[in-house]
Amino acid sequence: KAGVTQTPRYLIKTRGQQVTLSCSPISGHRSVSWYQQTPGQGLQFLFEYFSETQRNKGNFPGRFSGRQFSNSRSEMNVSTLELGDSALYLCASSSRGSGARTDTQYFGPGTRLTVL
Amino acid sequence: SQQGEEDPQALSIQEGENATMNCSYKTSINNLQWYRQNSGRGLVHLILIRSNEREKHSGRLRVTLDTSKKSSSLLITASRAADTASYFCATSNTGNQFYFGTGTSLTVIP
């Protein structure tokens, strides 16, 4: 099976702009989670989508939003970008919630977002 | 925060030596997983240990779990230069939410 793919891989934006990142999960996986990774804060959970519904949400402001489509592909959007939003954004898919015995997450390569 | 803590934050060893890193967490868990991350890339799943298991092996990896102490350890035996990476533990609870530790940066010197 093909792995988790994320596009774009690199992105440069300026403060105040908005950005949309895309994630295609492993075929058959219905759960998609998003994480923000920064040197100072480590890996922080943003949200999880399952069958087009947000199932879990981390402690991030409303500027961070996401959605999932019927084919399980997911997008996350960050509006009114701030310098502190510069980070590696990771997407992970899993088969949990679909009767799977384990909830191992499989990660994509990430999108490196730089906000100037 | 329910985020776990890894110890040490950084570890440097010679090729062929064993590397041990520890993870402590705060809440009850369903399972604990270890991931590896090469510089600036996505995370790769290494091994999963369930809350009712105490030890698990996979190749050169050995993981232990002590739920009474809320801690886990990852042992990499006979390390190789290619093992150089950051290692994270992640816990999963009944809320199906993942919590990642702060990571241990391992450098294996050839």
pLDDT of residue B70: 94
d(CA B90, CA A59): 17
Gap from A43 CA to chain B (nearest CA, Å) = 6
Gap from B17 CA to chain A (nearest CA, Å) = 27
Q: B45 vs A97: CB contact, 8 Å cut-off?
A: no
Q: A19-23, A62-66, B35-39, B53-57 — which is least confidently predicted? A: B35-39
Could you give the percent of chain A with pLDDT greater than 70?
93
Residue B73 in 3-state DSSP? Answer: strand
CB A115 within 8 A of CB A14: yes
Higher pLDDT, B96 or B47: B47
pLDDT in tens, A94-115: 886 655 455 788 999 999 999 9
- The token duo for A40 is 């100072």
For residue B94, the chain A residue with the least C-alpha distance is A103
Query: For chain B, what is the mean pLDDT?
Result: 91
Q: Tell me how far CA of residue A13 lies from CA of A3, A18, A44, in angstroms.
A: 27, 8, 21
Q: A25-34, A94-103, B7-16 — which is least confidently predicted? A: A94-103
CB B78 within 8 A of CB A21: no
Q: A48 vs B97: CB contact, 8 Å cut-off?
A: yes
Q: A107 vs B44: CB contact, 8 Å cut-off?
A: yes
Instruction: Please compute the mean of the pLDDT values over residues A43-57 and round it to a whole number.
Output: 90
Q: Which residues of B touch A29 (CB under 8 A)?
A: none
B9 touches chain A (CB under 8 A): no
Q: A6-15, A33-42, B68-77 — which is least confidently predicted? A: A33-42
The total number of residues shown for chain A amounts to 116
pLDDT band at B1 (very low <50, low <70, confident <90, very high): very low
Higher pLDDT, B98 or A10: A10
d(CA A55, CA B30): 18
